[in-house]
Amino acid sequence: MKFIVYTDGACSGNPGPGGWGAIVGSILGKKVEIKELGDSEIATTNNRMELGSVLAALQYIDQQINNPDFSIQIYTDSVYVIKGITQWVFGWKKRGWKNAEGAAVVNQDIWEALDSVVYKLQKKMNNKIKWDYVRGHQGTPGNERCDKIAVALSKNDYVNLYHGSGENYLFDITEAPPTEPLPENKFTKAEKPKTQWYVVLKNGVITRFKTWSECEASVKGAPGVKFKKVTSEAEEAEVLKGWGR
């Protein structure tokens, strides 16, 4: 059996009301069955909805499996989802669900659930799930339908979620869509923010602060104080040298 999955998420305001949609096509010989999934949240983010759609689709597939002879192909327009589950998650787990800067991983609850079901399914079928990137809003039928479901649910509009034969569905899910390599650096800043801190010279004492709010509270109203944002040890050394330190 082969499973073909399309997923998408939507959010108005980010954070704000959101929805997600997924299409799961199961193919066994010439028999094709379609199951549409969708749900919404009152206050959420686009990334949580993207993750939620994939998680729900894989959990649904897990419930349908009764033998190890199956494969899973996922099409999504979320670089965040693909890079997260195929690259970033391994480092996060090694660091105890911390990112490279030592902060808690955003959306950890969904990432943990997704990582768990992916591991479970891949172990069952003794193979890896195939993840492919499809560019959103380019007329790909599966992506467009998931987007329509997600947007409608985010607005609390009614959506008729299809469940039935592939012969009567909106498009032929067995026909592979055009895919693209993952766009480079789309989430570099989101996942790996540039390291920076604030150096303060006050009353002859050097102090370092991680955030501007801490730095501002220290220097505000203080006479003769010096402060500077730096992004490396070398840059800090130059600043201190300029201050005669």
Per the annotation, the verdict on 157 as an active-site residue is no
Catalytic choice (36, 41, 50, 191): 50
Mapped onto helix, strand or coil, the DSSP state of residue 87 is: helix
For residue 38, indicate whether it is catalytic. Answer: no
Catalytic residue among 36, 41, 147, 191: 147
Helix spans in the chain (H): 46-64, 79-83, 89-94, 108-125, 141-154, 188-191, 212-219, 233-242
Tell the burial category of 36 from Cβ atoms under 10 Å away from its Cβ (0-12, 13-18, 19+).
buried
Count of CA atoms in the C-beta half-sphere (13 A) of 109: 3
Tokens encoding 16: 């704000």
Rounded Cα distance between 32 and 244, Å, is 75
Catalytic residue among 102, 137, 204, 233: 137
In the set 18, 41, 52, 77, the catalytic residue is 77
Kindly tell me the burial class for residue 219, based on how many C-beta atoms sit within 10 Å of its own C-beta (0-12, 13-18, 19 or more): middle
Out of 9, 18, 19, 38, pick the active-site residue.
Answer: 9
Active-site residue flag, 39: no
Q: How far apart are CA 115 and CA 95, in angstroms?
A: 15
77 catalytic per annotation: yes
Whether 172 sits among the annotated catalytic residues: the reply is: no
Instruction: Cite the active site residues.
Output: 8-9, 50, 77, 137, 147
